[in-house]
Structure 1
Amino acid sequence: MGKRVAVVLAGCGVFDGSEIHEASAVLVQLSRDGAEAELYAPDVDQMHVVDHMKGQPTKEKRNVLVESARIARGNIKDLAKLDVKGLDALIIPGGFGVAKNLSTWATQGKSCIVCKEVEDVLKAFHAAKKPIGLCCISPVLAAKIFPGCELTVGHDTECDGRWPYASTAEALRELGCKHINKQVSEIHVDVQNRLVTTSAFMCNAPIHQVHDGIGKMVQEVLRLA
């Protein structure tokens, strides 16, 4: 039987929700490898709504679960109803929604608070020794909850505009984590904590390279499961 994997979304759209290409890459690789994806999102209001053409916040209000349903084609559940016992692994794609809706990283950085439902789910999978896959900015969730873990968000130094969020690596270190520099198509595996991470759009890279890294992350999560 194929593995059952929980995929947690944070809305729909890179600037205020889940990064759609990352979420799609996760779902495609799970399907390719014969795994069953179960999609979840918290039933909460977004921090704000961003006009993706202008890059500016609007006066709209949107719900994270309702917006995530766009990516899930309507087949999604409230994160509060997730039962770790029936699942083999957890994956959280990136996007600014992780830093705005699943946590307060966008406004508070390393002093952030992780949404209680998200924290509970991460701790439940970790306690059950079930693998967790994280890409782009979502490794900051693990950094906040599992001090001492090993993660990658790409590189810790900027290079010709390739790594615009390189300072995130230092913030992870300040939280007591070990950051491992990796290229966009590579992954890092924290064997002890069963965490698999890859940088995705933390790097200004061609989209196929981002997909390559996410594909490897998903495959390793399934192998560990």
Structure 2
Amino acid sequence: MLGVTFSAALTVNPVEHHGSNELVKRAQLSDGTHSLEAGNINKGLSWMSSGILLSSLETPAKTYRIAMWTPRQRIEFWTPGVADGTTQKFKWRFYLSSQTKTTKNFFHLMQVLSRGDGGPIVTLDAVNDRIMIKDYKRDCDVTGCPSIPLDRFTDRTTVHFVTVTFGPKGSLEYVIKDAADESVALLSYSVKGAMGSDSSSIKFGTYHLAVDGMTKSLAYAGDFVDESDS
């Protein structure tokens, strides 16, 4: 099972929903019977789901809960595609339960996605009991792609800060902090150069390879903020 709670303001802490099994006045947006469904939260954020997506009409914040019951691959949120040369700044909160186990296969928690390149440029992955940055355009031995033990990331609310300029002469500043103490970074990555082409987006959520023996995954995300200059 995967659960994701979204709040438009800082009124809902993802951790506080960890023990909640029911959300009142739920409306089902996707039921997990299709290979992939998609929709919009607002003009700045969309969702895609191969699992179950429930929308709560709680006030004052509108929340979204996702549950994955079948061995599907993807439940993610993404920003609209933008042109080369565009600079954007985002932040969100994320909580990954230690019930979620990793394998040797990819398990994306964040992607800098390039449609012109047909895939990700940089990702945050949970692989082999570690949280790690993967860079698909640069040599990590040169750029120093960081990683931390999985247990330093799970069972806590993390805050993700992304500043990105898309395009062949782009850049990325990505920092993850513990919400309980934002004075210290858990992981950070800064790089310049190729950062997508034609149309690029930031994606976050869970996207993993379905393999025999994999465990359920449980995660919460929320408090997404677009801090880009208007």
TM-score (norm 1): 0.31
> Which structure's relative contact order is higher, taking Cα pairs within 8 Å and 6+ residues apart?
2
In terms of fraction of residues, the more helix-rich structure is: 1
Larger radius of gyration: 2
TM-score (norm 2): 0.30
